[in-house]
Chains A and B, each alone.
Chain A
């Protein structure tokens, strides 16, 4: 009789025998700390990395990886302050503001042992300008680069700009070894990376990357023995892997709100350690201002007053996404100004009435959302219910889900009366939030025909607005910030966009590890992760 149980027993022994190679140690419900002392730390995200080449890296996963493998010229502190990294000092700007000289560090080696110098920086910048997918970020500002000394870089600008250090903190501009990339000066090298960062890449696949500390790194050495970045395809898998102890650190990107909430609760109970980065991503609604019904500014204002951000934030994200009434995130502007109208159903009703609605006439508003983004769907459904409760006799929301690729494609064609989107500035500066939404190169009155405003789907501009935006580029300091604030106030008054919420990057570590920290660009500092004694 007992022979019937032999296969089962054998299977159990195989399972038991195999365990311990990489997995959790007990069959009991997940226990908080099962990290492997002395071994690499496993960091999980949902992001797959298609290419590790700085000229191709544009996704969150790729730039997160690059930030540990390479160094930018300047680094942003978590308060947004600019600190030299590969640059030896702050940039020197000529009197006409068009020539910038940057002294470079002399003690830096690439991972292949070759020396970093101005020629290597010129090679990398020119390569990025030639084949970089995001080269337009640099191309519209920088006319030419050259080595003015063995360790001195000279940039010739197209127009004066005050955000150059922030721009040069972009990790895509990290230098690569000219020797290693000799055969790839005009094409991407997707599965290898030879840079100057604290880690070198020892294994790469789109789902897993292994990082080993670079022994000859010029700066502070990593506080761990190495990092393994893994990508798990869905939120449940990520959450489960953290719970079972398969991963040491989990990033919030790609995690559903309820999973984030559960992790936050565990952190509050001391079962996990939670770190937060600067909130640089905004969620907002774009209104097409050149088509009925939103050609009428009063109606846009009515909609702005009807938005109960607090309720939506609570229902959609249980408060994880902070309500936002500015276009520029507080982490960027340094202050919470709240210049968009606050929630006021009475004011909204008054404005709807002025526009001819409410008394027997109901505005049917199609609101497009990206169907592949769960929080968008929840937001739209919540707002629909909130409007039905507060202003059901004035407005009815008609949700219209669409795959994000199609939304982006049709946005600039004016296909949507109202659409839910998000944005994260390329650099940590107000300009990076205002220019991409407001800049307009050709306009008729308040109708933007060509430019960023049209591409963003609002088609809104105002007399003199573009001139003010351009003037801000030539200013610096408080005067520039004051002008950008006035521009934001004009935008709030016209309400072509309705800011909704802020997305804060989070990371959770097992309790045996130090609390995760982020840099000023919202990326996890992998080199800071460490096991506690």
Chain B
């Protein structure tokens, strides 16, 4: 079988598993929410509403139906792409996710970019002199940032840069005195577009200032993973036979590192990036909570506290779908880039 056909079969097999995984996740969430203590009727009405009022709301929400019937209806709606309405705000769940998900993705992707740049730079910096001071500092940086508790780190960064120094805003996604830019929900892009149109750059400036602290903190916490991954893989690559062969052919050290060792060392980093992207799609809850970032993780936490069944289910299903999608794409990229991979 040709490599291309094998790849297509591999891809088809991975994609065929996606609906099964999504069904399993959706069913699990449906079941767990019903098993967990708490009642959405309490969350909406409080515990003191008369029984008749509670029963009416229960019936209106379909919560008086037997569990299998509720489950069947949930699956039918899901297949139709109907995620339902939030119990609390009565807004379509799809719209709520559409407002929160871009915020999390913008934060996550910016943080990932910064983390990759910082982490890879630190990881690469010590390679010239293994076990030298720079290499040791890089190792300590990698372990240290990875081990930092996110909530504590976020609070400390917030305290220093926002409260004491007053350089950057304490929280939120946009300056309260300006109107948020309209468009895709990705404020960086929307405000850039608006700036290009109008020549006014306050929106972009405000967006960047509000993004810097949460994205910077998240990047700091994630960068250690990249540092360690690159250090280890690059050292392994530099000790391998093909690098020795390149050196013996008389190639310069810079060329050996950049053209031969680095691309191979970056392959595992790509996998790590994929896993990190997948985890960030669900939002970085502690960062979002600390910086009042209106992302999907903070929204999910709130929905769970309010027992807002449709919203919790909708968020989990959408995030799970994106995570699965990213994982498949990363697997595919690795398979394409690494000729050693067999299907």
Contacts and interface: CB of A to CB of B under 8 A. Distances in A.
Interface stretch (B87-95, B130-138, B269-277): B87-95
Given A233-B289, A237-B158, A405-B43, A136 B177 contact: no
Contact of B208 (A18, A206, A247): A18
B47 A412 contact: yes
Q: Which range contains the number of A residues in contact with the other chain?
A: 35 or more
Given A187-B90, A234-B290, A243-B163, A18 B209 contact: yes
B89 A190 contact: yes
Contacts of B199: none
Interface stretch (A105-113, A224-232, A382-390): A224-232
Contacts of B212: 15
Interface stretch (A19-27, A489-497, A506-514): A19-27
Interface in B14-62: 37-39, 42-50, 53, 57
B120 to A, nearest CB: 16
A77 to B, nearest CB: 27
A133 B155 contact: no
Given A190-B89, A206-B294, A21 B44 contact: no
Interface string B141-183: 0000000000000010011001111111111111111111000
A239 to B, nearest CB: 8
A409 interface: yes
B99 A240 contact: no
Which of A36, A134, A207 has the most chain B CB atoms closer than 10 A to its own CB? Answer: A207
Contact of A42 (B53, B90, B176, B298): B176
A51 B53 contact: no
Nearest to B203: A21
Nearest to A410: B37
Interface in B205-234: 205-206, 208-209, 212
A207 B166 contact: no
B338 to A, nearest CB: 34
A241 interface: yes
B298 A233 contact: yes
A22 B176 contact: yes
Contacts of B165: 27
Nearest to A48: B302
B113 interface: no
A191 B292 contact: no
Contact of B47 (A14, A19, A203, A408): A408
A436 to B, nearest CB: 6
A228 B176 contact: yes
Given A203-B179, A228-B177, A27 B292 contact: no
Interface string B75-109: 00000000000101111000000010000000000
Contacts of A42: 176-177
B307 interface: yes
Given A19-B209, A191-B91, A244-B170, A409 B163 contact: no
Contacts of A29: 164, 166
B176 A21 contact: no
A34 B3 CA distance: 66
Which DSSP category, helix, strand, loop or mixed, fits chain A's interface?
A: loop
B50 A140 contact: yes
A18 B205 contact: yes
A15 B91 contact: no
A28 interface: yes
A397 interface: no
A239 B212 CA distance: 20
Contacts of A208: 172, 174, 176
A140 B178 CA distance: 45
Given A22-B169, A58-B46, A240 B175 contact: no
Given A234-B289, A244-B162, A405-B305, A22 B209 contact: yes
Nearest to B86: A50
B241 to A, nearest CB: 37
A398 interface: no
Interface string A77-99: 00000000000000000000000
B172 A232 contact: yes
B168 A23 contact: yes
A456 to B, nearest CB: 8
Interface in A37-53: 39-40, 42, 48, 50-51
Contact of A21 (B47, B158, B162, B209): B209
B65 interface: no
A246 interface: yes
Contact of A240 (B42, B170, B305): B170
Contact of B50 (A15, A136, A231, A237): A136
Contacts of A36: 177
Given A21-B205, A136-B50, A50 B89 contact: yes
25 contacts: A14-B208, A17-B205, A21-B202, A21-B206, A22-B175, A22-B176, A22-B177, A22-B206, A24-B166, A30-B163, A134-B45, A136-B50, A136-B53, A188-B89, A205-B180, A205-B294, A206-B294, A207-B294, A234-B289, A234-B292, A236-B159, A237-B290, A411-B47, A455-B47, A455-B48
The 5 closest A-B pairs by CB, nearest first: A22-B175, A240-B163, A233-B292, A18-B205, A24-B166
Given A30-B164, A237-B290, A455-B48, 11 more contacts: A17-B205, A21-B209, A22-B178, A39-B177, A42-B177, A188-B90, A205-B294, A207-B294, A234-B292, A237-B158, A405-B305
